[in-house]
Amino acid sequence: MGENTDKTPSRHQVYEQIRARELARGASEDEAARIAAETVDKVIAREHGE
Per residue in 11-35, pLDDT tens?
A: 999 999 999 999 999 999 999 999 9
> In a 3-state reduction of DSSP, which class is residue 1?
coil
Q: Where are the domains of the chain?
A: 11-47
Per-residue pLDDT of 35-44, as tens digits, reads 999 999 999 8
Task: Decide: 15 and 36 in contact? Cβ < 8 Å.
Answer: yes
pLDDT at 50 over 70: no
Q: What is the pTM of this model?
A: 0.78
CA distance 1 to 12: 13
